[in-house]
Every structure is written in C-alpha cells, then in structure tokens.
Amino acid sequence: MNTAYLSLGSNIGDRLDMLQEAVRIVMNQEDLHISRISSVYETAPVGFTDQASFLNMVVEVQSNLSAFKILSICLETEQVLGRIREFRWGPRCIDLDILLYNDENMESENLIIPHPRMHERGFVLIPLLELNPNLNHPITGVPFRQYVEEQKEGVHLWKTFDGVDAFVHSEN
C-alpha cells in the first residue's frame, strides 16, 4: 500500500465547498482511500499576490495506484470542478497537487515528487506536519519541521474538522 499526501487549495467562490467537493470526488475513486485530513488554513497568496486569500489543506491517501494515476485523478477532479489555468500562481477555484508519494523521488515531464516547492510553502508544510510531524524531505533527508519556522507568516488556522466524514458533511 502506498501513502501519498495531496495539497488542496481554493480562492475563488465558496472556497470551503470547493475543498469539500474535491475531497468527495477523491474519496469516491476506486482503490484510493483518504485516511486523514488536516485542518483548513486560510493563507495569503504566494507568487501573484493581487488576489483573494486561499483556503488550504492536506489529505493523506492510501492506495495501490501509481503516482501517475493519482495525478490523473487530481487533474480530472480540477476539471470536473471547473478549474481554468489562466496564468501561473493565479486565482483558482481548486488546485490539487501531489506533495509526496511514499519516500520516492521521481521526475517526469508531468510529475515531480516530492513537489519541488513544497519546502518553501507554509500553506503546504503546516497542514502536512499536522498530519505527520516526523516527515523528512525524501531528497535532502531534512525534517520538514526545520523548514516550517520561516514559512508560518500568512498561514492561519481557519477551521478544524473531526475526520474526513465530518469534513465532507459539514455545512458552510
């Protein structure tokens, strides 16, 4: 069984509803189980900063699927929910990224694992470490908690849920 961590973010429309819908879609995939979810964090935009704040979270999934199949599910989920890619780091109704897949290091034209900028992103590190505080960067071996101290600015706890079911069934 493989363990992967997915980052989810939204800053257009009903942000929480978008995250919930994305989790529901992923949950309903065959051979993919969401084992845990982080709290939801409200975060300042990175890169292109003239846009609304994001809601971000991380989910832990267990699966026999390959990283490439999980990527396909992430991209299909974005498409179903109406993601339009206008420009890099721009506003988005939903964004799903694979952060980690086991302890693997892989690079292809369409997929890089670990996610190449995750150690620079508090909106990824804080919810990831909430799920697993002992994770190390698969390439450098450096504990992710060493990166997080300088990445906390602009990341604020928004809401905590008591498990996956409570998250997908909560009312806004």
For the annotated catalytic residues, the residue numbers are 83, 92, 95, 97
Residue 132, H or E segment: none
Distance CA 35, CA 37 (A): 7
Tokens of 162: 């008591």
For the chain, where are the E strands, in sequence order? 2-10, 32-37, 40-43, 54-63, 95-101, 106-107, 112-113, 155-159
Tokens of 168: 């997908």
